[in-house]
Amino acid sequence: METQTVWHNYNSEMYFFILKKVKDKNAADDILQNTFLKIHKSLPQLKDSSRVRAWVFQIARNEIINYFTYNPLRLRTADDRQDISDGYQSVCCFNKFINELPDKYKQVIELVYFKGEKQKDAAAALEISLENVKARIKRAKDMLRKSLADCCKYQFDKRGNLTGEPNCRVCEQ
């Protein structure tokens, strides 16, 4: 089997598979290109041509993982909080709400989102279970959502994205 045959049979299906995972057309194009580069290099090593579809999609999944590993959608560091709030279109009271979180939630948020630690590493650093880290992150996000909705009157769309203009009782004073 040749690379051209694999391309002809699977390129559009793989592109939409990748696009569904990364939700970015440019990233999907890059990942598809990297995937076919690896397919081209490794095709002579494929032993069972009846499993080519599973094989190429496994390569695509690995490339998607690489994309998220090397291009994390994480916030930078705790020192960059001003940049973070700028990234959120200067969401009023954002830093205030982070600082008002109870310490056990604030620590997890800072480790995972501000310092870019993996949840597993945060669990080890805080000497708690991974499940506990995940639960604390969820609770902290819920608290932040409530604070933004109550104080600033921001709304959240179906996908959980922050929308609307601030109507903050604290900032108006």
pLDDT digits (tens, 9 = 90+) for 124-142: 999 999 999 999 999 998 8
Report the distance separating Cα 170 and Cα 8, nearest Å: 59
Question: pLDDT band for position 3 (50/70/90)?
Answer: confident
**Buried/exposed 57-77: b ≥16 CB within 10 Å, e otherwise:** bebbeebbeebeeeeeeebee
Report the distance separating Cα 172 and Cα 153, nearest Å: 12
Q: What's residue 166's pLDDT?
A: 62
Domains of the chain: 3-70 (1.10.1740.10), 78-163 (1.10.10.10)
- Exposed, middle or buried by CB within 10 Å (0-12, 13-18, 19+), for 93? buried
Do the Cβ atoms of 38 and 59 come closer than 8 Å? yes
Assess whether pLDDT exceeds 70 at residue 150: yes
Q: What's residue 167's pLDDT?
A: 65
Report the alpha-carbon angle 96-98-103, nearest 5: 120
Q: What's residue 154's pLDDT?
A: 66
Assess whether pLDDT exceeds 50 at residue 36: yes
Q: What's residue 159's pLDDT?
A: 65
Question: pLDDT band for position 2 (50/70/90)?
Answer: confident
